[in-house]
Amino acid sequence: MDNTDIRFANQFAFNGNHIIYGLSVNNSPTVQDLWNTTPTWGFPYVKSTVQPTIGTTALIDGSLSGQVGGATAYTMINNILYLEAGGYTSLANDMQKAIGVANASQQQIDGGAPYWRAALQYDLNGHYFSLGHYGMIANIFPERNTSYGSDHYTDVAVDSTYQFMGNTRHIFEIKTTYIYEDQKLTASQLAGNVNSTGNTYLMTFKFNTAYTFDQTYGVTFAYNKTTGSTDTTLYSKYSLARPNSAFYTVELVYVPFGKSDKHLYMMNLRTSLQYIAYSEFNGNSSQAADNNTFMVNGLLAF
């Protein structure tokens, strides 16, 4: 089952303030988010399961996608302040098998994992700004092994957006997010899967900028970097025993239809050429370019 978000939403006025509120039931942290800075809907928007991917990501950065169930409550006040809070837990193994996402290497949440989100946004005559924070805390049974207790993860992140949408002919945007993950791997340490300290960290930085002309032609440049602590046991298969990776992405986009003033405006066809170039891949710099990928993508939404 792919990313799923089922929600209830309503609005009311209170003392001159416009308030939107609602509930979301979903299966991937950040799938319910409004901004393209958080992991689930972040760039690149079209991916392939056959392309090389880095071996280590933060828990909130897709590691739990499709494996959990959760609910959050949210509100947007005066279209400026957004607040959200809720929690997640792992789906039962039999349920995961039934929907086709079971995997022996998946991580299982011990009990519940709180999730939160806050953001400020403002639109000034076509110049749109947002600044946000999101995070998650989870105790995890590594590889679903409950014999040694659980590891403890704390993910905290900040994100921001700038968009120029003063006219539909020229659209420009910059988006970025930074995630810091603190890992206390007590259970993994007892199981012999990390070195003697059991305390590690992971940092993720994502940046992309895009220009769109006449709602038809677009170009995007992106940079992603992941760094983390050295651990000769945890990262024994990685070069220099560290999870560090860095790559650039360049994408050219052509959208032939989909404009409100054109025929076939309901035909939302998006085609793109995408090239990903690695300068470091799982700690290895000298052979990182072996994972470079060129893709031709097509997406039709209706």
Quickly list DSSP for 204-238.
EEEEEEEEEETTTEEEEEEEEEEEE---TTTTTTS
CATH fold of 5-301, please?
Porin (2.40.160)
Whether residue 264 has pLDDT greater than 70: no
Render the burial of 232-243: b for 16+ CB within 10 Å, e for the rest.
eebbeebbebbb
Q: Which amino acid is at 227?
A: T
* Length of the chain as a residue count: 302
**For the chain, which residues make up each domain, given as ranges?**
5-301
**Backbone phi, psi, residue 186, to 5°:** -65, -45
Q: Within the chain, where are the H helices? A: 93-98, 186-190
Q: What is the mean pLDDT of residues 254-283?
A: 85
Q: Which of 249, 291, 298 is nearest to 43 (CA)?
A: 249
Q: Which of 39, 40, 45, 89 is nearest to 67 (CA)?
A: 89
- pLDDT value of residue 259: 75
Whether residue 235 has pLDDT greater than 60: yes
Q: Cα-atom radius of gyration of the chain, to the nearest Å?
A: 21
Whether residue 262 has pLDDT greater than 70: no
| Residue 209 or residue 48, greater confidence | 209
- pLDDT value of residue 85: 98
Long-range CB pairs of 75-79 (<8 Å, 24+ gap) are: 75/19, 75/20, 75/21, 75/22, 76/19, 76/20, 76/21, 77/17, 77/18, 77/19, 78/17, 78/18, 78/19, 79/18, 79/121
Name residues whose C-beta falls within 8 Å of residue 53's C-beta, 6 or more positions apart in sequence. Answer: none
Q: Are strands 108-109 and 127-141 parallel, antiparallel or unpaired?
A: antiparallel
- pLDDT value of residue 155: 98
Cβ–Cβ < 8 Å for 234, 242: no
pLDDT tens for 165-200 read 878 889 999 999 999 999 999 999 999 989 877 789
pLDDT band at 226 (very low <50, low <70, confident <90, very high): very high
- pLDDT value of residue 260: 67
**Rounded distance between C-alpha atoms, residue 17 and residue 50, angstroms:** 49
Q: Which of 285, 194, 288, 282 is nearest to 238 (CA)?
A: 282
Whether residue 104 has pLDDT greater than 60: no
CA distances 11 to 102, 170, 245, Å, are 38, 33, 44
| Residue 130 or residue 51, greater confidence | 130
Share of the chain above pLDDT 90, in %: 70
Cβ–Cβ < 8 Å for 144, 37: no
- pLDDT value of residue 258: 73
Share of the chain above pLDDT 70, in %: 96
- pLDDT value of residue 96: 73
Cβ–Cβ < 8 Å for 200, 234: yes
